[in-house]
Amino acid sequence: MAWYKDWFGEDYLRVYPHRDEREAKTQVDFVAKVLPLKVGDPVLDLGCGTGRHAIALSELGYRVTCLDLSSVLLTLAKQKSDEVCSAWFVRADMRHIPFVDAFGAVLSFFTTFGYFKTDDENQQTLVSIQNALKPEGWFFLDYLNKQLVLKCLVARDSRSENGFEVLQERRYNQTDERIEKKIVIKENGRLREYRESVRLYTITEMQAMLAAAGLKLVRTFGDFDGSEFVGASPRLILVGRREKI
Confidence at 245, pLDDT banded by 50, 70, 90: low
What is the arithmetic mean of pLDDT over 82-101? 91
DSSP letter string, 17-75? TT--HHHHHHHHHHHHHHS---TT-EEEEET-TTSHHHHHHHHTT-EEEEEES-HHHHH
Residue 214 and residue 112 in one domain:
yes
Confidence at 214, pLDDT banded by 50, 70, 90: very high
Residue 13 and residue 61 in one domain:
yes
CB-based burial, 50-66: b 16+ in 10 Å, e otherwise: bbbbbbbbbebebbbbb
- Pairing outcome for strands 156-161 and 235-242: unpaired
Residue 190 and residue 218 in one domain:
no
* Contact between 196 and 183 (Cβ < 8 Å): yes
Please state the domain count of the chain: 2
Residue 67 and residue 115 in one domain:
yes
Residue among 72, 74, 105 at smallest CA distance from 88: 74
Residue 189 and residue 174 in one domain:
yes
Residue 12 and residue 71 in one domain:
yes
Q: Choose one of 160, 175, 197: the last residue of a domain.
A: 197
Residue 160 and residue 180 in one domain:
yes
Confidence at 26, pLDDT banded by 50, 70, 90: very high
pLDDT for the residue 21 = 85
d(CA 102, CA 95): 16
- Pairing outcome for strands 87-91 and 63-68: parallel
d(CA 89, CA 91): 7
Residue 13 and residue 30 in one domain:
yes
Confidence at 45, pLDDT banded by 50, 70, 90: very high
pLDDT for the residue 162 = 81
CATH number at residue 15: 3.40.50.150
Confidence at 177, pLDDT banded by 50, 70, 90: very high
pLDDT for the residue 221 = 98
Residue 159 and residue 130 in one domain:
no
pLDDT digits (tens, 9 = 90+) for 12-21: 988 887 667 8
Range of the domain at 190: 149-197
Residue 39 and residue 137 in one domain:
yes
Q: Does the pLDDT of residue 244 top 80, yes or no? A: no
Roughly what angle, to the nearest 10 degrees, separates helices 52-59 and 71-84? 30
Mean pLDDT score of the chain, rounded to an integer?
94
Residue 82 and residue 174 in one domain:
no
- In this prediction the pTM is 0.95
Residue 126 and residue 227 in one domain:
yes
